[in-house]
């Protein structure tokens, strides 16, 4: 099978015009691609590609349900389908309804669904549908944003309304995959902290863009104008927040927590061996700039071949095979991505929702999985070590329980499952665990006694007294007490987050802040002194065990949490942490 570069992805996406076959699932499991989650009246709903919908009361046991959109999409979408996306290369509507997301619009008092009606050659359109309830039927409202337009067909879109006479002029940038030629898919509506509704759109190629919606209609806000600033802002697509230059990156999703906006997006290609993976960035402002822990910007400044094997963005999950589960190739997640997130109304906890494929299952045999998101002491969000099984993360009850042997897994951003085996028979890109021991005195050791020479000229061999020390660990806060953090443990911005304003926001007023008509200075917004550590974070009960661990000269900060193992449900002490732009999981043996 050829390497999944962006060129092969173009062909593959164009061929994805029929709903895939459905495979048998374990009881309560559901297979929904590009899952978007929402909650209404204590019931959780997932909406996904090819109009697959499901609901649950516990986030574990799911059942599919239908509505008028799933039963008869032509009744709602035929007119817009034939007016824009329908072409000989993809003649069937059924396989071209992609990646919906939903949001409650308080002004309209209705649920708003933003759905991509996809076409070949990126001739796609995001449309709006509304409903009174998430399990009810939907009403078509109209188109929100188009892609794939050219001088020959731009009159069929709303581009002339937005650009004016420019729509009939030079549109070359909209035909360049290394400029602003995006595909109008993966819509994500976001309500900012000031109550305004924005929407991000785009995938791969031209990057991820964001523009404001009119809360009265749910459609584009035509009164907001955006300048043309290369790699930063566009009069039609709005503010650029990530990606570009034909680099992989799609499925954007935004969460606000701890005074930060977190941007999740998927790098790689969605196929089983395509290296699909979730990367994380954050910003003090919804429209950016977004950076990872090392200060790398989410917006690309040039072509990055195979960017899904590079170090930009924190990789939250990877393919893992360890004793707490998964243990079988049929269960090992590969190509995880296109996530959404839920804040549960009953307790405020956050959950990561994504689709995944598996090592030893068919290409289209995928599932929707959920993990709890836990806050780190330095203001990041980390995925729980085990899949959510109905029991939320809880704190260990005593400090002495924390010591002992652990398996640890580091989520390597440079590798992915590619279907090849190493010389020892293990799969490339599947991260195997290491066994370490946390000692009461703060040491972290690994392995057996080591014999070595460190005075070779004198020919004086010596050996360690026991397993070699590979790092250290410590608690940052126990039972409500807070240890004095080092500067790196506070939720302060990285140097790049305060280095200066984002071109996309200085080129365009901070319309997300109704109190401001001035251009936004992200530097001043992020340079304010951070709040005290524990006040600056959402605190489920597990946050009484905030920790720092150094392994192989990299320091990670995170949290201990008791979770049920995937193999047998046994409550197990785990930790999840982030450091050096990498995520680390641990589980006690």
- pLDDT tens profile 425-452: 999 999 999 999 999 999 999 987 676 6
Strand spans (E) along 132-249: 139-146, 188-191, 197-201, 208-212, 233-234, 238-242
What does the pLDDT read at residue 203? 83
Check 158, 186, 250, 489 and give the catalytic one.
250
Strand partners, 587: 407, 574
Task: Please report where in the chains the tokens 């790196």 appear, as a residue.
Answer: 488
Q: Which long-range contacts (CB under 8 A, 24 or more apart) does 28-32 make?
A: 28/60, 28/61, 28/62, 29/62, 29/367, 29/368, 30/54, 30/62, 30/63, 30/64, 30/367, 30/368, 31/355, 31/365, 31/366, 31/367, 31/368, 32/355, 32/368
Strand partners, 212: 198
Every domain of the chain and the residues it spans: 35-383, 399-449+465-476+539-588
Q: What is the mean pLDDT of residues 457-481?
A: 73
- Tokens for 32, please give them: 């929904």
Task: Please report where in the chains the tokens 């549109």 appear, as a residue.
Answer: 171
On the 0-12 / 13-18 / 19+ scale of CB atoms within 10 A, 160 is middle
Please name which of 199, 567, 292 lies closest in space to residue 407, comparing C-alpha atoms: 567
**What phi and psi, each to the nearest 5 degrees, are found at residue 295?**
85, 10
- pLDDT tens profile 536-549: 333 444 446 899 99
- pLDDT tens profile 322-362: 999 999 999 999 999 999 999 999 999 999 999 999 999 99
- pLDDT tens profile 171-204: 999 999 999 999 999 999 999 988 999 999 998 8
Positive or negative, the Cα torsion across 87, 93, 96, 97? Answer: positive
The secondary structure of residue 531, as a DSSP letter, is P
Please name which of 181, 127, 125, 119 lies closest in space to residue 150, comparing C-alpha atoms: 181
What does the pLDDT read at residue 460? 66
> If you average pLDDT over every residue of the chain, what do you get?
87
Q: What is the mean pLDDT of residues 524-537?
A: 31
What does the pLDDT read at residue 19? 74
Is 116 or 487 the better-scoring residue by pLDDT? 116
**What phi and psi, each to the nearest 5 degrees, are found at residue 367?**
-140, 165
What does the pLDDT read at residue 554? 97
Cα 183 to chain centroid distance, Å, stands at 19
Q: Using CA atoms, how far apart are residues 234 and 229, in angstroms rounded to an integer? A: 6
Whether the predicted pLDDT of 514 surpasses 50: no
Q: What is the mean pLDDT of residues 38-65?
A: 98
What does the pLDDT read at residue 438? 97
Tell me which fold the domain 399-449+465-476+539-588 belongs to: Lipocalin (2.40.128)
Lowest mean pLDDT among 255-259, 513-517, 539-543: 513-517
- Would residue 94 show up in a list of annotated catalytic residues for this protein? no
- pLDDT tens profile 358-396: 999 999 999 999 999 999 999 999 999 999 999 999 999
What does the pLDDT read at residue 123? 97
What does the pLDDT read at residue 462? 67
Lowest mean pLDDT among 167-181, 236-250, 398-412: 398-412
What does the pLDDT read at residue 400? 64
pLDDT over 90 for what percent of the chain? 78
Cα 569 to chain centroid distance, Å, stands at 27
The secondary structure of residue 217, as a DSSP letter, is T
pTM of the predicted structure, to 2 decimals: 0.88
Q: Using CA atoms, how far apart are residues 279 and 56, in angstroms rounded to an integer? A: 27
The H or E element spanning position 517 is none
Whether the predicted pLDDT of 501 surpasses 80: no
The H or E element spanning position 7 is helix 6-15
From the candidate CATH numbers 1.10.3210.10, 2.60.40.10, 2.115.10.20, 3.30.70.100, the one assigned to the domain spanning 35-383: 2.115.10.20
- Would residue 34 show up in a list of annotated catalytic residues for this protein? yes
Q: What is the mean pLDDT of residues 129-158?
A: 98
Degrees, nearest 5: CA angle 109-250-254: 45
Is residue 150 within 8 Å of 144, Cβ to Cβ?
A: no
What does the pLDDT read at residue 531? 30
pLDDT bin (cut points 50, 70, 90) of residue 493 is: very low
What does the pLDDT read at residue 317? 97
């Amino acid at each position: 099978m050829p390497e999944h570069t962006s060129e092969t992805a173009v062909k593959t996406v164009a061929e994805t015009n029929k709903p895939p076959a459905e495979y048998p699932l374990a009881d309560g499991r559901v297979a929904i691609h590009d899952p978007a989650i929402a909650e209404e009246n204590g019931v959780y709903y997932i909406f996904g590609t090819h109009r697959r919908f499901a609901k649950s009361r516990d986030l574990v046991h799911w059942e599919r349900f239908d509505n008028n959109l799933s039963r008869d999409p032509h009744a709602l979408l035929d007119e817009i389908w034939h007016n824009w996306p329908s072409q000989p290369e993809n003649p069937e509507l059924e396989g071209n309804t992609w990646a919906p997301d939903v949001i409650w619009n308080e002004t309209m008092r209705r649920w708003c669904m933003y759905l991509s009606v996809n076409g070949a050659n990126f001739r796609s359109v995001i449309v709006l549908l509304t409903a009174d309830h998430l399990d009810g039927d939907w009403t078509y409202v109209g188109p929100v944003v188009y892609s794939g337009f050219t001088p020959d067909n731009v009159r069929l879109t709303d581009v002339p309304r937005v650009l004016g006479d420019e729509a009939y002029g030079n549109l070359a940038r909209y035909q360049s995959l290394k400029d602003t030629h995006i595909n109008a898919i993966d819509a994500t509506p976001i309500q900012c902290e000031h109550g305004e509704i924005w929407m991000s759109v785009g995938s791969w190629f031209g990057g991820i863009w964001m523009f404001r919606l009119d809360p009265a209609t749910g459609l584009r806000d035509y009164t907001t104008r955006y300048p043309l600033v290369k790699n930063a802002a566009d009069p039609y697509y709005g503010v650029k927040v990530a990606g570009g230059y034909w680099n992989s990156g799609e499925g954007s999703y935004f969460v606000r927590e701890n005074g930060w906006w977190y941007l999740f997006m998927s790098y790689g290609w969605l196929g089983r061996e395509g290296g699909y993976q979730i990367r994380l960035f954050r910003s003090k402002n919804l429209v950016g700039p977004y950076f990872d822990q090392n200060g790398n910007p989410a917006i690309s400044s040039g072509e990055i071949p195979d960017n899904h094997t590079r170090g930009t963005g924190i990789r939250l999950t990877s393919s893992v095979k360890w004793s707490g589960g998964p243990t079988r190739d049929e269960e090992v997640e590969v190509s995880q991505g296109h996530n959404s997130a839920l804040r549960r109304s009953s307790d405020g906890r956050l959950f990561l929702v994504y689709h995944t494929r598996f090592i030893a299952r068919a290409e289209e045999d995928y599932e929707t999985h959920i993990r709890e998101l836990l806050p780190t002491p330095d203001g990041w969000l980390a995925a729980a070590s085990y899949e959510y099984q109905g029991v939320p993360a809880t704190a260990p009850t005593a400090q002495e329980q924390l010591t002992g042997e652990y398996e640890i897994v580091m989520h390597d951003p440079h590798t992915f499952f590619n279907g090849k085996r190493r010389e020892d028979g293990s799969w490339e890109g599947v991260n195997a665990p290491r066994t370490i021991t946390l000692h009461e005195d703060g040491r972290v050791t690994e392995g057996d006694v080591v014999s070595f020479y460190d005075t070779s000229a004198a020919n004086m061999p010596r050996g360690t007294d026991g397993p070699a020390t590979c790092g250290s660990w410590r608690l940052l806060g126990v039972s409500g007490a807070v240890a004095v953090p080092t500067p790196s443990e506070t939720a302060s911005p990285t140097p790049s987050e305060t280095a200066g304003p984002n071109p996309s926001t200085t080129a365009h007023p901070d319309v997300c802040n109704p109190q401001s008509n001035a251009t936004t200075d992200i530097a001043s917004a992020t340079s304010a002194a951070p709040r005290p550590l524990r006040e600056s974070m959402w605190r489920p009960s597990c946050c009484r065990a905030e920790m720092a661990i150094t392994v192989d000269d990299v320091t990670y900060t995170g949290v201990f949490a008791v979770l049920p193992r995937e193999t047998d449900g046994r409550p197990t002490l785990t930790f999840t942490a982030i450091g050096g732009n990498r995520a680390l999981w641990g589980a006690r043996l």
